[in-house]
């Protein structure tokens, strides 16, 4: 695509789609200039023009096949999709910088026998990769002596992404519209505050959510690990009384004993969910330990998403959920009985790549006569870099259902992918 064509395309996209809000449209003319330059070396600039011309371009393409089989009436699903992400970041100019990024996800070779969550093929199992073209990121940033402010559409992640993440496994990743403030002192202490006005979810623009979210996260590095404290005060902006407030502490780190690396983490959080009719409270707890020997790492852990007397399950709506509680994504919404996940994993390096195998045992936090056993799951993955810019991978997940009343069914998923980054 020629530079003039690309500029016209970006301008068309930015001013005809619903996410072209006044704040973003101020940035669009600058961003068009950024994307259409050809230099690829980011550096400290001496002028605004130099900041534009000495920016950096990145291209990330992810080609993936996904298959889903479930023991129910839904048809087996197949999806072959290509996600393309084009990013341009300016160089810094007196602490100011900017970034613009577009993301596109397309079906390849006509392999689209799947429920995309937007109404297509409802008689097939879900694969949450709808076709979409959208503005993934567009922000201005200012840095000064450990302080930074970033305004616009952006990726936001905290800690291990259990509460706030980008859901990067899906082809349309999660970003947020809002303002982020950060202060960092001597690479030891950091505090972040964010105000979010829209959650740009993984299901294309049709399912984005207006919000009034306040995110606070502070972390302190010690000789044994990092201590984090957080408060995530979430509210959907829909003129209906609602609120989801979570406060917690996390400690994670590692230490070397002889030739063994010892890994450990512990986390606790409490949550209040309030709406016009009901209020609930639930707790969260996570403990994990592991050892690293040569090229192999072994971990065991226990994660509890608590329940309020079997009526409400602890919720993490902004999380990168695929990374927790098994890769078949059975527990994207916590059951009202809560969820206890006892797991073990082993992984390492072989043949120039990385491999891992994990096992999960799921139970209800608040058991009843009908619901106690929530099933089990086995996961396995292998990925290998090829040359400097490419990665190939294969991934498998198999869930075995527990009590019938829990509403789950046996599920198998397979992924094959090729990624290229330039």
pLDDT, tens digit (0-9, with 9 covering 90-100), for 203-238: 999 999 999 999 999 999 999 999 999 999 999 999
Q: In the structure encoding, which two tokens stand for residue 412, read together?
A: 């198998």
What's the pLDDT score for residue 43?
A: 52
Instruction: Measure the CA–CA gap between 161 and 410, rounded to whole angstroms.
Output: 27
Of 105, 96, 104, 103, the closest CA to residue 27 belongs to 96
Q: Using one digit for the tens of pLDDT, what is the confidence trace for 373-403? A: 999 999 999 999 999 999 999 999 999 999 9
What's the pLDDT score for residue 364?
A: 97
Contacts of 409 by beta carbon, 8 Å cutoff, 6+ apart: 70, 71, 72, 401
What's the pLDDT score for residue 307?
A: 98
Q: In the structure encoding, which two tokens stand for residue 110, read together?
A: 């006509």
pLDDT (mean) for 86-106:
97
Instruction: Measure the CA–CA gap between 316 and 273, rounded to whole angstroms.
Output: 11
What's the pLDDT score for residue 75?
A: 98
Q: Using one digit for the tens of pLDDT, what is the confidence trace for 168-212? A: 999 999 999 999 999 999 999 999 999 999 999 999 999 999 999
Q: Using one digit for the tens of pLDDT, what is the confidence trace for 265-275? A: 999 999 999 99
**Residue 393 burial by CB count (10 A; 0-12/13-18/19+): exposed, middle or buried?**
middle
Instruction: Measure the CA–CA gap between 387 and 254, rounded to whole angstroms.
Output: 31
Q: In the structure encoding, which two tokens stand for residue 307, read together?
A: 């329940």
Out of 44-53, 139-148, 274-283, 406-415, pick the least confident: 44-53
Around Cβ 239, how many Cβ atoms within 10 Å?
6
> Which residue is listed with tokens 């043949």?
351
Calculate the CA 11 to chain-centre distance.
Answer: 28
Q: Using one digit for the tens of pLDDT, what is the confidence trace for 10-41? A: 444 443 444 344 333 334 343 334 334 333 34
pLDDT above 90: percentage of residues in the chain:
85
Q: Using one digit for the tens of pLDDT, what is the confidence trace for 81-93? A: 999 999 999 999 9
Average pLDDT, the chain: 91
Of 415, 403, 401, 414, the closest CA to residue 72 belongs to 401
Query: Angle at the Cα of 326 (from 290 to 115), degrees rounded to 5?
Result: 155
What's the pLDDT score for residue 349?
A: 94
């Amino acid at each position: 695509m020629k530079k003039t064509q690309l500029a016209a395309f970006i301008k068309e996209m930015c001013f005809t789609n619903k996410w072209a809000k006044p704040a973003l449209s101020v940035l669009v003319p600058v961003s068009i200039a950024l994307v259409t330059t050809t230099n690829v070396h980011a550096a400290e600039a001496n002028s605004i023009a130099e900041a534009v011309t000495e920016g950096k371009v990145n291209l990330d393409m992810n080609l993936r096949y996904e298959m889903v089989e479930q023991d129910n009436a839904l048809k087996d699903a197949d999806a072959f999709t290509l996600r393309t992400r084009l990013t341009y970041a300016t160089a810094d100019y007196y602490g100011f910088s900017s970034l613009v990024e577009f993301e596109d996800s397309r079906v390849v070779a006509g392999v689209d026998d799947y429920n995309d969550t937007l109404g297509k093929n409802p008689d097939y199992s879900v694969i949450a990769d709808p076709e979409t073209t959208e503005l993934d990121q567009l922000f201005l940033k200012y840095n000064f002596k450990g302080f930074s402010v970033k305004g616009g559409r952006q990726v936001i992640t905290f800690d291990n992404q259990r509460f706030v993440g980008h859901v990067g496994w899906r082809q349309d990743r999660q970003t947020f519209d809002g303002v982020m403030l950060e202060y960092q002192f001597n690479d030891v202490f950091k505090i972040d505050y964010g105000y979010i006005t829209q959650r740009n979810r993984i299901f294309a623009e049709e399912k984005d959510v207006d919000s009034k979210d306040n995110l606070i996260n502070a972390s302190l590095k010690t000789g044994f690990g990092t201590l984090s404290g957080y408060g995530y005060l979430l509210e959907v902006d829909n003129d209906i009384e609602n609120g989801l407030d979570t406060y917690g502490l996390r400690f994670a780190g590692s230490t070397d004993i002889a030739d063994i690396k010892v890994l450990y983490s512990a986390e606790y959080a409490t949550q209040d969910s309030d709406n016009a009719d009901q209020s609930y409270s639930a707790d969260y707890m996570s403990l994990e330990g592991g050892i690293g020997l040569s090229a192999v790492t072994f971990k065991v852990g226990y994660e509890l998403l608590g329940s309020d007397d079997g009526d409400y399950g602890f919720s993490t709506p902004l999380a990168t959920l695929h990374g927790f509680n098994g890769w078949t994504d059975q527990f994207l919404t916590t059951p009202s009985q809560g969820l206890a996940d006892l797991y073990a994993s082993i992984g390492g390096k072989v043949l120039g790549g990385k491999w891992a195998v994990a096992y999960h045992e799921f139970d209800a936090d608040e058991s009843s006569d009908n619901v106690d056993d929530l099933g089990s799951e086995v996961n396995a993955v292998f990925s290998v870099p090829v040359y400097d810019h490419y990665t190939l991978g294969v991934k498998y997940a198999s869930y075995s259902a527990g009590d019938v009343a829990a509403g789950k069914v046996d599920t198998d998923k397979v992924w094959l992918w090729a990624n290229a980054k330039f």
